[in-house]
Amino acid sequence: MSTITGAQALITALEHEGVDVVFGVPGGAILPAYDPLHESPIRHILARHEQGAGHMAEGYAWATGRVGVAMATSGPGATNLVTPLADALMDSVPLVAITGQVPTSSVGNDAFQEAYTTGITMPATKHNYFVTDVDEIAQVVREAFHIASTGRPGPVLIDLPKNVLNATTTWRDPGAVSLAGYKPTVEGHPRRVKEAVELITEAQRPVLYVGGGIIKANAAAELRRFAEVTNVPVTTTLMGRGAFPDDHRLALGMPGMHGTYTAITALQKADLLIAIGVRFDDRVTGKVETFAPHAKVIHVDVDPAEIGKVRTPDVPIVGDARRVLGQLLEAWAGRETPDRQPWLDTIAAWKRDFPLRYDQRPDGPIKPQFVIEELYRLTGGDATLVAGVGQHQMWASQFWRFSDPRRWINSGGLGTMGFAIPAAIGAKVGRPDDLVYAIDGDGSFQMTFQELITAADEGIPIKVAVFNNQSYGMVTQWQKLFYGGRLSASVLGDGVDYVKVAEGLGCVGFRAETPDEVAPTLEKSLAVDDRPVVVELVVDPDEMVFPMVPAGASNDEVILGPDDLGRSS
Amino acid sequence: MKHTLSVLVENRPGVLARVASLLARRGFNIHSLAVGPTSEPGMSRMTIVVDAPELEQVKKQLHKLVNVVRITELDPANSLEREIMLVRVAAPAGKRGEVLEIASIFKATAVDVGPSSMCFQISGTPAKINDFLDLVRPYGIVDLVKSGRIAMAREQKTKPGRLRAVN
């Protein structure tokens, strides 16, 4: 058997896991790993900051459903990865991060570029490894991919000291993974499934409340069938947009703080929530004590710790969303589809009376919602949307009509500004034939726009719409609503020429300043296919995101629009 | 409310840090924690006494740690709970007889004697140790160290019904 280095074992192990791309930034301690990577069929994409590499790996994972891989060196390389790791943990994104570490003889001595990576990332990962034995590398990589991609997916970090990467070993395939303390439950308990079906049969006003778990489990088709045979309307959370088509007659749109009136109110009036792959997040429930007060709850989740964490369910089902939906469909088979007409009529009336709205005047400033609708019209909705964090994210989620899973990518749980550009790069790498459009705010853009260099340099033609309202829009919205209009540290000004920035970084730049320029400018952006494009949209800085349920308020107190302010305060 | 958890973990570097960090992050207060190897190779047993209104979340969160293999909540009525304590009691020559008398009732062993104090070793249930402590406290406690609590479930008692049937 031939002798190889730890670094070669690492790259071979990645190849065996089917990795086709690694996003990373090299540096001292990880250098040994970069040498065999150079010869490997694995593509390396050189990010300009490790945070970018991490979000690229996330975008790749979101778009493809496969494990994203990020690589960084020790010390600052590793600490720069902490934000994407925390983001991936919150949003259950399968990620494997590989970091270099100072040689084991220097560990603990405050060596150059030393950081206690496994300690720092312990609460930001699903699991992590500090490898001290070169013979364990193959096994650890196999375990890391298994843990990252099964059960509730999440990030796993492998910290590799330089001397371990340089040490020699012989390659041995580690075989199947068996971990005494890690055996996710995927199959729902049959008795619980039967109980769930009984509750659904009895319910008069049921709602399917579904989220990222449907997308992670690739359960959209099963969800649709189940909603149709049971005739239950569906609300998709921010993480679950695309899990159910927005154009479907049973679709309610997004629930929560900036959800549709119909979705929020349907949950409030429901007598049964069928919650699948959701975690009753505070952005959805508002004040927990008054959330869905009349509803019994069936809660399906692959993570047992989510069940009963916020709301005690009447029927808890631990399992993979797709498997459990399959079981539910089987248990339902033979039953008649209820017509639920009074409930569906009530919902139809809410949809009619309280639609999402905005007012685009032909001679007024560009309304951001109008841009989303125009982009939808021009692309026919055939695109993957990747959002940053803030107002633009909410508008994108509200006004785009999602029809497929994995074509809406955003940072939900952690709310990481700067997510859009690197995540869009990762998504485009994962699905090169798809049109990938990042929707960004100027504040979010300014946090990670250096990754446009990566996009230009690596030939990854993403498109980025920058909604420029010259401020941290969501911060100013809260300041206007809850802090007496004092715009403390939230105005960014008009000092940036985004077209020049784009051009200076090797991208194409366009700008639209009036409503009539929006469609032609977006069309120009769609016509470019050889380089990344940045479109600056100078939007109304006074526009706010509505509907809105203020933080901590009850979901019975939906503020529908600016004219509605003060009504419920 | 204090609960005793018996947690079987893989004996890997950092496992104690993972458990402690998780409990801290989720806002659970550790009252005591004792850890040591078990008869199973590669496995360690942690006995954790946590202060929490309810245990469901603690158990579920601990279960998410990859190195945690099994968690058992021990009911004090059906388990053996033990602590060990070393306590140095101020006991000048004239008081030693009294102190030794108390110690002998509690089966505490004098393990060190000096001109002004005596050190006792005592093991037993947390209640017994606290009772002993209450009685020697008036003499003056110079120093004290307690192990964390260790605990083990009792063997399931034979059901009374079955016992009658045999008789």
Rounded to whole angstroms, the Cα distance separating B120 from B129 reads 11
pLDDT > 90? residue A180: yes
Whether residue A358 lies inside any domain: the answer is: no
Same domain, A341 and A377: no
Residues 107-146, chain A: which have Cβ within 8 Å of B? 118-119, 122-123, 126-127, 130
Domains of chain B, CATH where assigned: 2-74 (3.30.70.260), 80-151 (3.30.70.1150)
Rounded to whole angstroms, the Cα distance separating A49 from B97 reads 73
Same domain, A372 and A349: no
pLDDT > 70? residue A304: yes
Interface mutation vs chain B, best among A122, A125, A310, most B CBs within 10 Å: A122
pLDDT > 70? residue A567: no
pLDDT given for residue B164 in this prediction = 47
How are beta strands B109-113 and A315-318 bridged, if at all? unpaired
Taking an 8 Å cut-off on Cβ atoms, the answer to whether A308 and B65 are in contact is no
pLDDT given for residue B36 in this prediction = 95
Rounded to whole angstroms, the Cα distance separating A287 from A272 reads 18
Task: Establish whether the linkage from the previous residue to B76 is cis, with ω within 30° of 0.
Answer: no
Whether residue A287 lies inside any domain: the answer is: yes
pLDDT > 60? residue A569: no
pLDDT digits (tens, 9 = 90+) for A508-558: 999 999 999 999 999 999 999 999 999 999 999 999 999 999 999 999 999
Same domain, A462 and A349: no
Using alpha carbons, select from B81, B149, B151, B83 the residue that is nearest to residue B122.
Answer: B83
Helix (H) or strand (E) holding A208: strand A206-210
pLDDT digits (tens, 9 = 90+) for B83-121: 999 999 999 989 999 999 999 999 999 999 999 999 999
Query: How many domains, chain A?
Result: 3
Interface mutation vs chain A, best among B28, B64, B67, most A CBs within 10 Å: B64
Phi, psi values for residue A221, rounded to 5°: -65, -45
Q: Do residues A388 and A440 touch, judged by C-beta distance below 8 A?
A: yes
CATH number at residue A307: 3.40.50.1220
Same domain, A390 and A535: yes
To the nearest whole Å, the CA of A119 is away from the closest chain B CA by 8
Report the percent of chain A where pLDDT is more than 70: 99
Whether residue A505 lies inside any domain: the answer is: yes
Mean pLDDT of B136-149: 96
Helix (H) or strand (E) holding A53: helix A50-64
pLDDT digits (tens, 9 = 90+) for B23-45: 998 888 999 999 999 999 999 99
pLDDT interval class at B158 (50, 70, 90): low
Q: Do residues A302 and A186 touch, judged by C-beta distance below 8 A?
A: yes
Q: Could you write out the three-class secondary structure of A426-461?
A: HHHHHCCCCCEEEEEEHHHHHHHCCHHHHHHHCCCC
pLDDT > 90? residue A568: no
Q: Which residues of A456-470 are buried (b: 16+ CB within 10 A; e: fewer)?
A: bebebbbbbbbbbbb
Same domain, A377 and A343: no
pLDDT interval class at B76 (50, 70, 90): confident
Same domain, A78 and A151: yes
pLDDT interval class at B157 (50, 70, 90): low
Whether residue A185 lies inside any domain: the answer is: no
pLDDT given for residue B156 in this prediction = 76
pLDDT digits (tens, 9 = 90+) for A448-502: 999 999 999 999 999 999 999 999 999 999 999 999 999 999 999 999 999 999 9
pLDDT interval class at B159 (50, 70, 90): low
Using the 3D structure, point to which of A302, A327, A353 is the last residue of a domain.
Answer: A353
pLDDT given for residue A562 in this prediction = 87
Using alpha carbons, select from A332, A313, A325, A330 the residue that is nearest to residue A217.
Answer: A325
Helix axes of A321-332 and A220-230: crossing angle, nearest 10 degrees: 30
pLDDT given for residue A563 in this prediction = 84
Taking an 8 Å cut-off on Cβ atoms, the answer to whether A126 and B22 are in contact is no
pLDDT > 80? residue B162: no
- Establish whether A51 is a catalytic residue: no
pLDDT given for residue B52 in this prediction = 84
Same domain, A330 and A223: yes
pLDDT given for residue B165 in this prediction = 45
pLDDT given for residue B163 in this prediction = 45
Same domain, A75 and A204: no
Nearest CB to B66: which of A123, A181, A304? A181
Rounded to whole angstroms, the Cα distance separating A307 from A293 reads 18
Same domain, A226 and A143: no
Residues 292-311, chain A: which have Cβ within 8 Å of B? 303-305, 308-309
Report the percent of chain A where pLDDT is more than 90: 98
| Average pLDDT along chain B | 91
Residue ranges making up the domain that contains A133? 3-170
Taking an 8 Å cut-off on Cβ atoms, the answer to whether B60 and A305 are in contact is yes
Taking an 8 Å cut-off on Cβ atoms, the answer to whether A303 and B22 are in contact is no
Taking an 8 Å cut-off on Cβ atoms, the answer to whether A182 and B66 are in contact is yes
Whether residue A469 lies inside any domain: the answer is: yes
pLDDT > 60? residue B68: yes
The SS3 call for residue A118 is helix
CATH number at residue A62: 3.40.50.970
Taking an 8 Å cut-off on Cβ atoms, the answer to whether A182 and B21 are in contact is no
The SS3 call for residue B50 is strand
Mean pLDDT of A280-293: 96
Rounded to whole angstroms, the Cα distance separating A527 from A463 reads 11
Tokens of A222: 């099963």
Using the 3D structure, point to which of A125, A141, A170 is the last residue of a domain.
Answer: A170
Nearest residue in chain B measured CA to CA from A303? B64
Rounded to whole angstroms, the Cα distance separating A429 from A495 reads 32
Same domain, A241 and A151: no
Residue A135: DSSP 8-state: G
pLDDT digits (tens, 9 = 90+) for A184-238: 999 999 999 999 999 999 999 999 999 999 999 999 999 999 999 999 999 999 9
Same domain, A163 and A198: no
Residues A389, A391, A393: CA angle, nearest 5 degrees: 50
Using the 3D structure, point to which of A123, A138, A170 is the last residue of a domain.
Answer: A170
pLDDT given for residue A564 in this prediction = 83
pLDDT given for residue B167 in this prediction = 38
Rounded to a whole number of angstroms, the distance between the first and last alpha carbons of chain A is 74
Whether residue A538 lies inside any domain: the answer is: yes
Whether residue A569 lies inside any domain: the answer is: no
Same domain, A372 and A318: no
pLDDT digits (tens, 9 = 90+) for A414-437: 999 999 999 999 999 999 999 999
Rounded to a whole number of angstroms, the distance between the first and last alpha carbons of chain B is 41
Q: Which amino acid is at A249?
A: R
Max CA distance (Å), chain B: 62
Question: Taking the CB of residue A185, how many other CB atoms lie within 10 A of it?
Answer: 15
Mean pLDDT of A374-398: 98
Whether residue A227 lies inside any domain: the answer is: yes
pLDDT given for residue A275 in this prediction = 98
